[in-house]
Amino acid sequence: MEIKALKDLLPYCLENCTKKTLAVIKAEDDHTLTAVARARKEGAIEAVLIGDAPVIKNLLAQIGEKEEDYHIIDEAGEREAILKAIELVHAGEVDFLMKGLLETKNLMSAIVAKTSGMRTGRLMSKFDFVEIAQYHKLIALTDSALNTKPDVEAKKQIIQNALDVMYSVGIQKPKIAVLAASETLNQKLQESADAWKLKQMWENGEFTDCYLEGPISIDLALEKESVEIKNYQSPVGGDADMLVCPDLVSGNMMGKMMTICGGRAAGIIVGAKVPIVLMSRAAEIDDKFQSIILGAIASQKGA
Amino acid sequence: MEIKALKDLLPYCLENCTKKTLAVIKAEDDHTLTAVARARKEGAIEAVLIGDAPVIKNLLAQIGEKEEDYHIIDEAGEREAILKAIELVHAGEVDFLMKGLLETKNLMSAIVAKTSGMRTGRLMSKFDFVEIAQYHKLIALTDSALNTKPDVEAKKQIIQNALDVMYSVGIQKPKIAVLAASETLNQKLQESADAWKLKQMWENGEFTDCYLEGPISIDLALEKESVEIKNYQSPVGGDADMLVCPDLVSGNMMGKMMTICGGRAAGIIVGAKVPIVLMSRAAEIDDKFQSIILGAIASQKGA
């Protein structure tokens, strides 16, 4: 089957992946637990809940879940909960992680620490699948949350991270749009020069099993009408699978605007030893659920 | 009346403004002429059409317009057409300009030339009103098209240009969001530091008759739910009238994403001697029409 929408992730996961185990760090958050419970009941995952055990058990009861269906680990301290989760990863007892009731920066600083053993030698980056009613398939967006001003080498790794996820969900030869404000190279603008260099790398065979175009504007990447009006020639034009953002602030603004305009999103951190499900506190429960399923699929790779 | 949507611009214009005269530069474009004809028939403008006269007359006939209803000036050459339009501005015969069938960069380089007399001592910038179904009023977006990397002083002028337009459409004390990826000051990130400085300028009374907040993320600017979840305290939170973009590429990506997601837009260049209606070739006719009405209202200021 082909993944065209977020709702396709679950059947794809059930059909193609063995059941994975998720560890939730500081799990005492009702929205997070509701999303985790749904993924468990759908048969996609088992879950280890790390945090304030009495609060977690109380919340589970409130959402109609039995505590016996989960492995609950009592670590009320934030730092202890993070370290416990990392320990479980190294022991091979869990396949991926999820942020519960804690600040992203606290979690990520512990994860990126050299002593954590969570590094792979590759840059970590955020990967989002965004779904908007006006586009004919999912849009992969990267990196809108982790690397503030990636240089061209960092962007190369960000793209490679994203390609791994796209292959894991069965997308063949993804079409990558390295965004700028225009399709014309302007060496004075970093995003334009970077996009041009990445296209050269692609032409030199440094990215395989994909198409890559850049610099390219967002309308040429996503809108067939703009492609026709400008008579733009590229396999990526109007049919992009992946949008590579110039920097964090532009990706953050554009990505959030898609959800403000009614879009939905699933997001994970990739490039660490295991995927990390990481959605903002304000994200809807269904988006958190879809992110868990995406994390389960992406964690299959190392299996 | 209060302007809440693009459709409110026309009644506001008819009620509050004297009839203005628009000069269209290289008018031989059917979408442009259709939008101009609609604005004329609604009683909002008179129009001078500069360009290849036989082609213009032919196109007018095709869309059911009489050539006697327009002042047609035969200047088929692009440069000549631009210079003629500027001459009409200086002669006080036209109140605002519109780009027809020519490249934005060719038009703008002639306009910004010191010899054009079109400069006012203020920076020129793009102003857009964007309408999305998910927000309760129009969103002013600036600058997403003209200044690539404005510094803090340039951003101050961009904001002042935008405030003039907002006052001209009757918006009292607009709420300005100077965007960054987060609401926390990060001195290492230019957009964050600039936003913080602009907020300080506002606190020092350098911007009057407005609220200004920054750094602020796009979700805190537009989403009441995010404001509640984060317990964010600012009159701008969830109720912004204006989004000030960190730079051109981020504004371009975010602005176009709003229209890709079903939004509509009207846009003009402000800060020159007269407003210049400037929409991309791919813009819909209705968006061009709304831009003309916005230009007519904005040109009232100097009347």
Taking the C-alpha atoms of residue A60 and residue B174, their distance in angstroms, rounded to an integer, is 46
All domains of chain A in start order, with CATH: 1-119+273-303 (3.40.50.10950), 120-271 (3.40.718.10)
Q: Which residues of A touch B (CB under 8 A)?
A: 132-135, 148, 179-181, 188-189, 191, 217-219, 222-223, 225-226, 229-230, 245-250, 252-254, 256-258, 260-263, 281-282
Interface test with B, best of A104, A256, A281 (most B CBs within 10 A): A256
Mean pLDDT of A40-55: 98
Nearest CB to A179; choose among B134, B222, B253: B253
Indicate if the pLDDT at residue A273 is higher than 70: yes
pLDDT value of position A96:
98
Nearest CB to A254; choose among B219, B229, B254: B254
Question: C-alpha angle with apex A166: A162 to A170, nearest 5 degrees?
Answer: 165
Mean pLDDT of B72-77: 96
Which stretch of DSSP H or E encloses residue B145?
none
pLDDT value of position A301:
63
DSSP B249-289: HHHHHHHHHHHHTT-EEEEEEESBSS-EE---TTS-HHHHH
In the 8-state DSSP scheme, what is residue A119? B
Encode pLDDT of A82-132 as tens digits: 999 999 999 999 999 999 999 888 999 999 999 999 999 899 999 999 999
Indicate if the pLDDT at residue B86 is higher than 80: yes
Residues in chain B: 303
Taking the C-alpha atoms of residue B278 and residue B145, their distance in angstroms, rounded to an integer, is 10
Indicate if the pLDDT at residue B303 is higher than 80: no
Q: What is the mean pLDDT of chain A?
A: 95
Please tell me whether residue B198 adopts helix, strand or coil conformation.
helix
- Taking contacts as CB-CB distances below 8 angstroms, the residues of chain A near B256 are 217-219
* Selection from B158, B131, B175, B163 nearest residue B247 by Cα: B158
Nearest CB to A249; choose among B225, B246, B252: B246
Contact B260 A218 (CB under 8 A): yes
pLDDT value of position A14:
97
Mean pLDDT of B64-76: 97
In the 8-state DSSP scheme, what is residue A67? G
Sheet of B175-179, strands arranged across: B71-74, B45-51, B20-25, B96-99, B276-277, B264-270, B125-131, B139-142, B242-244, B175-179, B211-216
Contact B218 A261 (CB under 8 A): no
Nearest CB to A261; choose among B180, B262, B281: B262
Mean pLDDT of B124-137: 97
Taking the C-alpha atoms of residue B27 and residue B70, their distance in angstroms, rounded to an integer, is 12
> Closest Cα of chain B to A16: distance in Å?
32
Tell me what ipTM this predicted complex has.
0.93
pLDDT band at B301 (very low <50, low <70, confident <90, very high): low
> Nearest residue on chain A to B248, judged by CA atoms?
A181
Report the Cα B56 to chain-centroid distance in Å: 26
- A214 and A189 Cβ atoms separated by less than 8 Å: no
Indicate if the pLDDT at residue B279 is higher than 90: no
Residues facing residue A125 across a β-bridge: A270
Interface test with A, best of B190, B227, B254 (most A CBs within 10 A): B254
Encode pLDDT of B229-251 as tens digits: 889 999 999 999 999 999 999 99
Type of residue found at B177: A
Contact B253 A249 (CB under 8 A): no
- B266 and B128 Cβ atoms separated by less than 8 Å: yes
Alpha helices in A91-173 (DSSP H): 104-112, 152-168
Indicate if the pLDDT at residue A153 is higher than 90: yes
- Taking contacts as CB-CB distances below 8 angstroms, the residues of chain B near A217 are 252, 256
- Across B188-254, where does the E strand assignment appear? 211-216, 242-244
- B33 and B40 Cβ atoms separated by less than 8 Å: no
Q: What are phi and psi of A286, to 5 degrees?
A: -65, -35
Please tell me whether residue B138 adopts helix, strand or coil conformation.
coil
Q: What is the mean pLDDT of chain B?
A: 95
Q: A129 is written with which tokens? A: 């699948």
- A111 and A275 Cβ atoms separated by less than 8 Å: no
Indicate if the pLDDT at residue B281 is higher than 90: no
Give percent of chain B above pLDDT 90: 94
pLDDT value of position B262:
95
* Selection from B74, B89, B68 nearest residue B295 by Cα: B89
pLDDT value of position A303:
37
- Taking contacts as CB-CB distances below 8 angstroms, the residues of chain B near A150 are none
Which stretch of DSSP H or E encloses residue A282?
none
Number of Cβ within 10 Å of residue A167's Cβ equals 16
Strand pairing of A20-25 and A96-99? parallel
Taking the C-alpha atoms of residue A245 and residue A221, their distance in angstroms, rounded to an integer, is 12
> Closest Cα of chain B to A181: distance in Å?
5
Between A284 and B187, where is the model more confident? Answer: B187
> Closest Cα of chain A to B173: distance in Å?
24
Please tell me whether residue A246 adopts helix, strand or coil conformation.
coil
Residues facing residue A72 across a β-bridge: A49
* Selection from A21, A47, A52 nearest residue A34 by Cα: A47
pLDDT value of position B65:
97
Q: A212 is written with which tokens? A: 């890559």
Residues facing residue A264 across a β-bridge: A131
Q: Residue A163: CB partners within 8 Å, gap ≥ 6?
A: A174, A207, A209, A210
pLDDT value of position B260:
96
Contact A218 B148 (CB under 8 A): no
pLDDT value of position A88:
98
What is the number of CB-based contacts under 8 A between chain A and chain B?
114
Indicate if the pLDDT at residue B149 is higher than 90: yes
Encode pLDDT of B17-39 as tens digits: 999 999 999 999 999 999 999 99
Indicate if the pLDDT at residue B1 is higher than 90: no
Q: Which residues of B touch A (CB under 8 A)?
A: 132-135, 148, 179-181, 188-189, 191, 217-219, 222-223, 225-226, 229-230, 245-250, 252-254, 256-258, 260-263, 281-282
- Taking contacts as CB-CB distances below 8 angstroms, the residues of chain A near B282 are 219, 223, 225-226, 229-230
Please tell me whether residue B111 adopts helix, strand or coil conformation.
helix
